[in-house]
Copies of this chain bind each other. A is one copy, B any other.
Amino acid sequence: MGVDKPNDQIPPLLAAASGKPPSRIPVWFMRQAGRSLPEYRQVRAGIPMLTACLTPDLAAEITCQPVRRHDVDGAVFFSDIVTPMKLADIEVSIEPGVGPVFAEPANSPAAIRHLTSHEITDMEPIRTAVKHVVGELGEATPVIGFAGAPFTLAAYLVEGRPSRDHLAARALMHTDPDSWDKLMTWTSALSTAFLLTQIEAGARVVQLFDSWVGSLSAEDYRDYVAPYSTRILTTVAERHPDIARIHFGTNTTHLLPAMAAAGASVMGIDHRLRLDQANALLGGTYPLQGNIDPALLFAGKALYAHTDQVLRAGRAAPGHIVNLGHGVPPTTDPQVLTDLVAYIHAQSPRDEEAQ
């Protein structure tokens, strides 16, 4: 064996996230704990999404399901990006087939003042659930903490519900920068507290999801969004310097360097951009996560040739955590995911040319 001997003491996900050679190629899937699994649909039957998120035994069970079934290398905490808002007594529900719907859109200075007067009084359901998961999975499979980034949260809050182009939020940052600052400061504080709670309960990696950030121009991202995401990631880094910070969005080719500079230690890449190209855009300095195209989960054997390409491109980066380019589609056959994990684990984690 060479000098870069894989460290069997470190879980592969943590090794890759810190640029060390992993004992096997680590893989997990965004939205792996969810509707693609029959055991998930069974335990969720009749239980509203946010109730499930705030029932510690149930949230812990759902978090562990994909680890048991697929042998993935990380257990992303089962929750929702609006969970901290629910904990702050905001009236919000997740409507099936729609997404988060807020009783009162934050679309005026008064509505934003009212919204941002809410505080989280009790993180107990989160702390308890994460501890249950850590208790079940032990050291081998790290828990991945999870929070929504301020822009994506604001995009929902200002509109009051999902929207295609997030026009209302993107107009507000220009028309009323003071209200925008108040809103983004508040969402940042909630997501920071949400992440810190998960870390203190045992999460060993975190991911900040900015799913809709790709609708912004690079200039608007820099001026109105990056400062708030930076607060979250730098606070986590200061308090817990050993915890890897994955930063992810979709449609981010034009934003990648700015998103990395916001305080990420690992960059999540969607399926649109090859990992070697993403690595070049980022100056070769960040371990990358991604980026199997979710569409290929429905493409039979073609999934494997595509996965080979992803693994090959990922070798360009200082570390590679395999994931999809976006969440697991609910209609995915779970056996496809189980087989995919086994296939990835059967590949050598070392670059063959370097051996």
Contact = CB atoms under 8 A, between A and B. Distances in A.
Interface of A: 165-168, 170-171, 174-175, 214-220, 251, 253-254, 271-274, 277, 293-300, 302, 306, 309, 326, 329
B217 A175 contact: no
B273 A167 contact: no
A299 B217 contact: no
Nearest to A325: B217
Contacts of A171: 295-299
27 contacts: A165-B295, A165-B329, A167-B294, A167-B295, A167-B298, A167-B329, A168-B298, A170-B293, A170-B295, A171-B296, A171-B297, A171-B298, A171-B299, A174-B295, A174-B299, A174-B300, A174-B302, A175-B299, A175-B302, A214-B272, A215-B272, A218-B274, A251-B251, A251-B272, A253-B254, A254-B272, A254-B277
A97 to B, nearest CB: 12
A102 to B, nearest CB: 19
A266 to B, nearest CB: 21
Contacts of A294: 165, 167
Contact of A253 (B253, B296, B299, B309): B253
A194 to B, nearest CB: 26
A271 B218 CA distance: 10
Most B C-beta atoms less than 10 A away, residue of A217, A274, A295: A295
A217 B165 contact: no
Contacts of A220: 293
B272 A217 contact: yes
Contact of A298 (B175, B214, B254, B326): B175
Given A254-B253, A295-B167, A175 B300 contact: yes
A160 B46 CA distance: 30
Nearest to A300: B175
Contacts of A218: 272-274
Given A165-B295, A217-B272, A219-B274, 10 more contacts: A166-B295, A171-B295, A174-B299, A175-B302, A214-B251, A214-B272, A215-B272, A251-B251, A254-B272, A254-B277
A309 B174 CA distance: 14
A295 B219 CA distance: 14
Given A174-B296, A175-B299, A296-B174, A271 B168 contact: no
Contacts of A272: 214-218, 251, 254
A294 B297 CA distance: 34
A271 B217 contact: yes
A324 to B, nearest CB: 11
Most B C-beta atoms less than 10 A away, residue of A174, A297, A306: A174
A254 B220 CA distance: 19
